[in-house]
């Protein structure tokens, strides 16, 4: 049972130039008080076969985290071009966002990032030496999510105020027979 | 009754490719009290919510209105073993392998696309509260009447009682000595019942959570490794029906009906061919005589059972036979059952990853009484439930309606906020660079959390809500003396029922209505059954025989009779051969006859006389005296060309898809008819035929896995082991001379004509033990270790036999006996070796390729190991060995 569940990850600047900072907004739900901070990391994987070439772009702490839906923004620096093997600069790389609690990783979100030149001529015939200032990146919006079970160390039993007041405070549940799927699905996240 | 299997109710493997269609096990299903939605819990660690209208109504299914899948809840990190809606319908509780009980609440704002997946939640359910406390898998949860409490049970052997209002933990009960795998509440509210692998059902008082009673007898021999032992309390409060009970030393699988008050089980529901996994009562009281008044003697109930034999049965306690038995509806065990609140629909979930729905007609649920009858009836118990916590309620219409108004006033907004009152509240946190691992500050733009808390308790409303508690008013205070209508007044039908067979109730998706006899033409047409042919001998053994086998074997072949017939299992149908008498000009013919309708369903003519017939569910076989064999389908089509064996059959036998033939010359064949393959190359029985002419093969039969079993007249039963290409002894009379386990086996073998129902090993042992007299056993002086050695040898032989003959149930039973014996004797080395054999390499896990096979006799070795360890752990001499390994297994599992 994960106490923290990611609801959404948004890229505030995407597509962007290769050398731009990464700006993210992470929205997550927390279902129990967490005394410690959550740690989030952004990692750039240029060469999947060689872990040593992974670059940690950002590492931040968030906390204390209240129960409920929370969001935060953070920035990660662009990868250091000198540490990327020349043959791995163009094309597809992976961007990984990890969430940890008490040094245990509980979620890992992977994205594909495509890197290419910003004009057709250079796409057709790339210059012999990579011109980093002409590169743009585009992050595929489909996340690949892996969750891990960790010890959240919430001491049972959970005391601490009456959290719930009986189902009377819950919404009454209408019959499912009347539901339809005409709702605006994609826009629903931003709507309120 | 309508029967449906909605193919779209599915839990899929999300780690596999998205187009993967592999169904993952569904462990639990539960209908919402309003009947419009169901929740399912699966191996994929998800809770899914589905609408029921598309299941029950084809037009709705076609139009996709309402949508079929309503919501997917993904927060559990282990398989979800139980889902239960609160009686109020507002909350859903789920229990999982991840040791957590979760409470879910409707949340209109969390509808929409699920991030990180292709799922769309049409209806939003949010995690409201996480209830940690169990130290292992949570197997079952149950809401008390009026949602006063929630009980959860698990593999940590514990029961935890949570307040149904505050969801705080009230108490933990740790008096079970084994995995707890089922829980239910008394509808009166006085008791709680739990069922455990410690082979007991325990009844607890809700007033002080003390033990009221313990029921052990029906479970003494119940197998240990079922997934669940879900039990159910009848709506009139009079009985508990418990799963996984046995009669007859563990050979008859039953559900035990326990009577309130005396807490004894005199009644069993008999008929399932394997362990009963789940029992579930229809929530309505039924009247035996609908026009007579509601009295204890006029009340009965309806209970559904689901079992490891893949079938579901529904019983009405006033009648001697089940209302329905649905066989072959699932491909694997039934894991859970749930009745709709109106009592007309039954949902069943299976580990094959499907659910099935039985929708009854009102006339099939004769005598069903409205819920008000139950309420009135239960009030006779005069049980006064403990007071509710102040200010709490599940049902308060005014409170719900008042909330939007209150949220709009800013001063009270914190108290009553919930997502329903408006848009979702999101706390905006500030991330700080993790340079020195220093805590970052937090700026809260809006301090109101949306999930997990409702803010402070609504104290300002307590005065109004307490007066509206719905249940407080229904109890009359005039008579405080406890009164209980004697359950004996409520007779059950006869105890030993046979199951009606409704096989072919439809595999896969489809609706089966009341079936009408089709009136198509068949070969042989509507020719009435010929007048009875007198059965007599037509002459000597087969013509055209005479070849003598390689080992000089010449087995007996039955004389040719004028008529040979065999009953087709599970129907009023007979397969019959009429042999032509030589010189009379008659013809030999075979017929497939509907005895009830007195007509021939199909026929065929044959060139030579017939000496054997065999029929299974999948085919009919005819062995002829010239050594040929024809195989027909049940519609009379030849499933394969005529087989030519060269010499006539001494015996043939068929089981499932398997056909075995033993020829006069001692060659033995075993084929899979469906696949058209042989289980092993034809083999001679010469090695097991002693030279002496007096020894004969007394009987021969085959198992569904193709293993032939031959009984020789010297008191030895042989089977052929195709992997070693040798004949092995699966049992012999020798064990009778000293094995403690020999005699116990024979009780069940009297009047046992077939090997199918009671297990193959007792059948074999029964068939070779006939002339063991007790006299010569007692006279002989035996060495000190005689009995122990023979008992262990006997059990070890039986284990090998059960494996070879593919009899998982008997393998497990024998293994338990064997483990007990080793433990009783304190043979530590044998015990440890057995443990290692079952545990395999320490770092083995599913999917890992090693030389070690994780399965034996179709069972998971590590599951068996758990049984063995719990036996060792409870023993006098091997306690430590058992416990150490139990700890060790837990560690492996945790990694």
CA–CA dist B731, B797 (Å, integer): 7
Sheet holding B37-42, edge to edge: B26-31, B37-42, B47-51, B69-73
Question: Residue A181's pLDDT is what?
Answer: 61
Distances in whole angstroms, Cα of residue B283 to Cα of each of B87, B232, B321, B551 = 12, 10, 20, 67
Report the pLDDT averaged over residues B479-496.
41
Q: Residue B395: which of A1, A65, A168 has the nearest Cβ? A: A168
DSSP state of B413: H
- From A168's Cα to the closest Cα of chain B, the distance in A is 4
* Three-state SS letters, B826-847: CCHHHHHHHHHHHHCCCCCCCC
Residue that is written with structure tokens 């009340």 in the block = B299
Q: Residue A67: which of B64, B395, B452 has the nearest Cβ? A: B452
pLDDT digits (tens, 9 = 90+) for B80-119: 999 999 999 999 999 999 899 999 998 877 777 777 777 7
Residues of A in contact with B442 (CB under 8 A): 62-66
Residues of B in contact with A165 (CB under 8 A): 165-166, 391-392, 454, 457-458
Residues 6+ apart with CB under 8 A from B157: B174, B176, B177, B178, B179, B180, B196, B198
DSSP, residue by residue, B575-634: EEEEPPPTTTT--EEEEEEETTTTEEEEEEEESS-EEEEEE-SS-EEEEETTSEEEEE-T
CA–CA dist B604, B576 (Å, integer): 11
Residues of A in contact with B103 (CB under 8 A): 164
B419, pLDDT greater than 60: no
Which range among B17-21, B61-65, B126-130, B715-719 shows the weakest confidence by mean pLDDT?
Answer: B17-21
In a mutagenesis test of the B interface, which of A160, A168, A183 is the best target, namely the one with the most B β-carbons within 10 Å?
A168
- From B886's Cα to the closest Cα of chain A, the distance in A is 22
Question: Residue B639's pLDDT is what?
Answer: 87
Distances in whole angstroms, Cα of residue B218 to Cα of each of B79, B258, B268, B269 = 30, 9, 9, 12
Taking alpha carbons only, the member of B550, B656, B654, B533 closest to residue B588 is B533
B885, pLDDT greater than 80: yes
Question: Residue B505's pLDDT is what?
Answer: 39
Question: Residue A182's pLDDT is what?
Answer: 55
Strands B355-359 and A55-62, bridge-based pairing:
unpaired
Q: How confident is the model at residue B236 (pLDDT cuts 50, 70, 90)?
A: very high
CA–CA dist B308, B227 (Å, integer): 10
Question: Residue A138's pLDDT is what?
Answer: 92
Taking alpha carbons only, the member of B152, B313, B294, B275 closest to residue B235 is B294
Distances in whole angstroms, Cα of residue B461 to Cα of each of A129, B188, B493 = 73, 29, 52
Do the Cβ atoms of A59 and B433 come within 8 Å?
Answer: yes
Residues 6+ apart with CB under 8 A from B760: B703, B709, B805, B807, B810
Sheet holding B149-154, edge to edge: B138-143, B149-154, B159-163, B169-173
User: What is the rounded end-to-end Cα distance, in angstroms, of chain A?
Assistant: 28
Q: Residue A168: which of B37, B393, B450 has the nearest Cβ? A: B393
Q: If you measure CA to CA, which chain A residue comes closest to B419?
A: A171
CA–CA dist B555, B467 (Å, integer): 88
Residues of B in contact with A157 (CB under 8 A): 132-133, 168-169
Taking alpha carbons only, the member of B106, B201, B882 closest to residue A176 is B106
Residues of A in contact with B459 (CB under 8 A): none
**CB pairs < 8 Å spanning A and B:** 263
Could you give phi then psi for residue B813, rounded to 5 degrees?
A: -60, -45
Q: For chain B, give the mean pLDDT.
A: 78
Beta bridge partners of A4: A30
Beta bridge partners of B245: B254
Share of chain B above pLDDT 90, in %: 30
In a mutagenesis test of the A interface, which of B427, B433, B435, B461 is the best target, namely the one with the most A β-carbons within 10 Å?
B427
Q: Residue A188: which of B111, B169, B439 has the nearest Cβ? A: B111
Tokens linked to B705: 């896995």
**Nearest 10 degrees: Cα torsion B192, B197, B198, B199:** 80
pLDDT digits (tens, 9 = 90+) for B24-50: 999 999 999 999 999 999 998 999 999
* Three-state SS letters, B349-362: EECCCCEEEEECCH
Question: Residue B413's pLDDT is what?
Answer: 34
pLDDT digits (tens, 9 = 90+) for B824-856: 888 889 998 999 888 887 777 666 666 778 888
pLDDT digits (tens, 9 = 90+) for B449-485: 333 333 333 333 333 333 333 333 333 333 333 344 4
Segment 95-134 of chain A within 8 Å of chain B by CB: 109
Q: Residue A164: which of B111, B129, B438 has the nearest Cβ? A: B129
**Nearest 10 degrees: Cα torsion A99, B433, B427, A28:** -10
b or e along B604-616 (b: 16 or more beta carbons within 10 Å of the residue's beta carbon)? bebebbbbbbbbb
Do the Cβ atoms of A37 and B426 come within 8 Å?
Answer: no
**C-beta neighbour count of B483 within 10 angstroms:** 10
Question: Residue A1's pLDDT is what?
Answer: 65
Answer with the residue of higher pLDDT: B689 or A91.
Answer: A91
* Three-state SS letters, B225-245: CCCCCECEECCCCCEEEEEEE
Do the Cβ atoms of B132 and A156 come within 8 Å?
Answer: yes
B545, pLDDT greater than 50: no
Report the pLDDT averaged over residues B502-515.
38
Beta bridge partners of B280: B304
Question: Residue B453's pLDDT is what?
Answer: 37
pLDDT digits (tens, 9 = 90+) for A133-149: 899 999 988 888 888 88
Do the Cβ atoms of B423 and A154 come within 8 Å?
Answer: no
Residues of B in contact with A37 (CB under 8 A): 439-440
Answer with the residue of higher pLDDT: B558 or B512.
Answer: B558
Q: How confident is the model at residue A100 (pLDDT cuts 50, 70, 90)?
A: very high
CA–CA dist B673, B640 (Å, integer): 8
Q: At what angle do helices B808-825 and B786-804 cross, to 10 degrees?
A: 160
3-class DSSP state of A106: strand
Sign of CA dihedral B294, B299, B304, B305: positive
3-class DSSP state of B130: strand
A132, pLDDT greater than 80: yes
**Residue ranges with strand state E in B274-361:** 276-281, 286-287, 299-300, 302-307, 312-316, 322-326, 334-339, 345-350, 355-359
B251, pLDDT greater than 80: yes
**C-beta neighbour count of A88 within 10 angstroms:** 17
A12, pLDDT greater than 80: yes
Question: Residue B410's pLDDT is what?
Answer: 36
**Residue ranges with strand state E in chain A:** 4-11, 16-17, 22-30, 38-45, 55-62, 68-76, 91-101, 104-117, 135-139, 144-147
Do the Cβ atoms of B393 and A161 come within 8 Å?
Answer: no
Residues 6+ apart with CB under 8 A from B669: B645, B660, B661, B662, B663, B678, B682
pLDDT digits (tens, 9 = 90+) for B644-681: 988 888 889 998 889 999 998 888 999 998 888 898 98
Q: If you measure CA to CA, which chain A residue comes closest to B57?
A: A177
Residue that is written with structure tokens 């108290």 in the block = B415
Q: Residue B399: which of A68, A169, A189 has the nearest Cβ? A: A169
Q: If you measure CA to CA, which chain B residue comes closest to A62?
A: B431
In a mutagenesis test of the B interface, which of A167, A186, A187, A191 is the best target, namely the one with the most B β-carbons within 10 Å?
A167
Answer with the residue of higher pLDDT: A122 or B598.
Answer: A122
Tokens linked to B270: 């008999």
Taking alpha carbons only, the member of B886, B814, B793 closest to residue B856 is B814
pLDDT digits (tens, 9 = 90+) for B252-303: 899 999 999 999 998 889 889 899 999 999 999 999 888 888 888 889 999 9
* Three-state SS letters, B797-810: HHHHHHHHCCCHHH
Question: Residue B355's pLDDT is what?
Answer: 94
Question: Residue B152's pLDDT is what?
Answer: 96
Do the Cβ atoms of B423 and A169 come within 8 Å?
Answer: no
Question: Residue B538's pLDDT is what?
Answer: 62
Segment 139-178 of chain A within 8 Å of chain B by CB: 143-145, 147-149, 154, 156-159, 161-173, 175-178
């Amino acid at each position: 049972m994960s106490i923290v569940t990611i609801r959404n990850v948004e890229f505030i600047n995407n597509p962007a130039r290769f050398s731009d900072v990464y700006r993210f907004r992470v929205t997550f739900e927390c279902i129990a008080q967490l005394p410690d901070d959550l740690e989030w990391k952004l990692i750039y994987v240029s060469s999947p076969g060689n872990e040593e070439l992974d670059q940690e772009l950002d590492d931040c702490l968030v906390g204390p985290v209240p129960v409920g839906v929370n969001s935060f923004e953070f920035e990660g620096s662009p990868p250091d071009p000198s540490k990327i093997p020349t043959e791995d600069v163009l094309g597809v790389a992976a961007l990984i966002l990890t969430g940890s609690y008490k040094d245990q990783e509980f979620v890992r979100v992977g994205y594909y990032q495509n890197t290419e030149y910003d004009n057709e001529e250079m796409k057709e015939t790339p210059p012999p030496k990579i011109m980093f200032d002409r590169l743009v990146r585009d992050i595929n919006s489909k996340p690949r999510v892996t969750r891990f079970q960790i010890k959240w160390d919430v001491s049972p039993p959970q005391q601490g105020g009456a959290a719930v007041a009986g189902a009377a405070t819950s919404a009454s549940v209408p019959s499912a027979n009347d539901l339809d799927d005409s709702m605006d699905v994609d826009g629903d996240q931003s709507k309120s | 009754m309508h029967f449906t299997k909605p193919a779209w109710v599915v839990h899929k493997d999300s780690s596999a490719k998205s187009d993967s269609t592999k169904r993952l096990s569904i462990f639990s299903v539960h209908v919402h009290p309003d009947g419009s939605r169901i929740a399912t819990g699966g191996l994929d660690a998800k809770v899914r919510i589905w609408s029921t209208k598309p299941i029950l109504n084809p037009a709705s299914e076609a139009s996709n209105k309402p949508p079929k899948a309503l919501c997917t809840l993904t927060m559990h990190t282990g398989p979800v073993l139980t889902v239960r809606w609160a009686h109020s319908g507002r909350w859903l509780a789920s229990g999982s392998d991840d040791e957590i009980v979760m409470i879910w609440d409707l949340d209109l704002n969390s509808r929409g696309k699920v991030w990180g997946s292709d799922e769309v939640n049409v209806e939003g359910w949010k995690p409201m509260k996480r209830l940690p406390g169990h130290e292992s898998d949570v197997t079952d949860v149950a809401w008390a009447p009026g949602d006063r409490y929630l009980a959860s049970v698990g593999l940590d052997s514990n029961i935890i009682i949570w307040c149904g209002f505050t969801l705080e933990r009230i108490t933990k009960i740790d008096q079970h000595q084994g995995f707890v795998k089922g829980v239910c509440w008394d509808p009166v509210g006085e008791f709680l019942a739990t069922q455990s692998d410690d082979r007991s059902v325990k009844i607890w008082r809700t007033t002080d959570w003390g033990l009221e009673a313990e029921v052990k007898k029906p479970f003494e021999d119940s197998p240990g490794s079922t997934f669940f032992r879900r039990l159910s309390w009848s709506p009139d409060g009079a009985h508990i029906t418990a799963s996984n009970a046995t009669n007859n030393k563990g050979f008859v699988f039953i559900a035990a009906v326990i009577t309130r008050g005396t807490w004894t089980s005199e009644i069993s529901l008999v008929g399932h061919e394997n362990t009963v996994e789940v029992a579930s009562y229809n929530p309505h009281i039924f009247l035996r005589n609908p026009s007579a008044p509601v009295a204890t003697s006029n009340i009965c109930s309806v209970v559904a059972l689901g079992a490891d034999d893949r079938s579901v049965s529904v019983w009405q306690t006033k009648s001697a036979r089940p209302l329905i038995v649905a066989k072959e509806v699932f491909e694997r065990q039934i894991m859970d059952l749930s009745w709709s609140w109106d009592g007309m629909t039954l949902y069943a979930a299976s580990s094959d990853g499907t659910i099935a729905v039985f929708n009854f007609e009102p006339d099939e649920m004769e005598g069903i009484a409205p819920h008000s009858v139950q309420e009135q009836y239960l009030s006779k118990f005069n049980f006064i439930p403990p007071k509710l916590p102040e200010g709490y309620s599940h049902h308060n219409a005014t409170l719900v309606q008042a909330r939007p108004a209150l949220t709009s006033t800013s001063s009270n907004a914190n108290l009553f906020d919930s997502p329903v009152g408006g848009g979702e509240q999101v706390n905006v946190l500030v991330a700080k660079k993790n340079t020195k691992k220093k805590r970052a500050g937090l700026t809260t733009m809006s301090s109101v959390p949306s999930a997990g808390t409702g803010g402070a308790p609504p104290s300002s409303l307590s005065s109004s809500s307490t007066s509206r508690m719905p249940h407080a008013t229904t109890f009359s205070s005039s008579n405080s003396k406890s009164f209980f209508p004697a359950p004996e007044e409520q007779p059950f039908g006869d105890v030993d029922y046979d199951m009606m067979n409704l096989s072919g109730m439809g595999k896969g998706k489809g609706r089966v209505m009341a079936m009408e006899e089709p009136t198509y033409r068949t070969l042989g047409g509507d020719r009435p059954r010929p007048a009875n042919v007198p059965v007599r001998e037509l002459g000597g053994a087969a013509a055209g025989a005479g070849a003598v086998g390689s080992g000089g074997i010449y087995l007996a072949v039955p004389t040719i009779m004028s008529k040979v017939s065999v009953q087709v299992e599970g129907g009023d149908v007979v397969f019959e051969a009429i042999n032509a008498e030589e010189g009379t000009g008659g013809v030999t013919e075979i017929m497939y006859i509907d005895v009830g309708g007195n007509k021939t369903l199909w026929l065929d003519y044959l060139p030579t006389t017939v000496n054997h017939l065999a029929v299974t569910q999948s085919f009919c076989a005819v062995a002829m005296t010239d050594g040929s064999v024809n195989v027909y389908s049940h519609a009379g089509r030849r499933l394969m060309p005529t087989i030519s064996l060269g010499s006539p059959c001494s015996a043939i036998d068929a089981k499932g898809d398997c056909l075995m033939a033993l020829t006069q010359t001692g060659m033995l064949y075993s084929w899979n008819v469906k696949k058209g393959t042989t289980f092993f190359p034809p083999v001679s029985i010469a090695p097991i035929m002693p030279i002496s002419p007096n020894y004969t093969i007394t009987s021969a039969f085959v198992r569904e896995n193709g293993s032939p079993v031959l009984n020789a007249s010297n008191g030895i039963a042989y089977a052929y082991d195709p992997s070693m290409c040798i004949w092995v002894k699966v049992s012999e009379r020798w064990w009778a001379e000293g094995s403690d386990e020999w005699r116990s086996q024979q009780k069940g073998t009297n009047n046992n004509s077939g090997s199918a129902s009671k297990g193959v090993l007792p059948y074999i042992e029964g068939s070779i033990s006939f002339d063991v007299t007790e006299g010569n056993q007692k006279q002989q002086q035996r060495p000190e270790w005689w009995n122990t050695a023979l008992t262990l040898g006997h059990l070890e032989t039986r284990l090998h036999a059960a494996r070879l003959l593919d009899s998982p149930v008997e393998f497990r039973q024998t293994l338990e006996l064997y483990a007990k014996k080793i433990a009783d004797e304190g043979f530590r080395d044998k015990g440890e070796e057995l443990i290692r054999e079952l545990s395999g390499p320490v770092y083995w896990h599913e999917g890992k390729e090693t030389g070690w096979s994780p399965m034996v006799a179709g069972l998971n070795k590590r599951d068996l190991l758990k049984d063995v360890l719990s036996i060792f752990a409870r023993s006098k001499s091997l306690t430590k060995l058992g416990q150490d390994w139990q700890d060790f297994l837990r560690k492996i599992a945790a990694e």
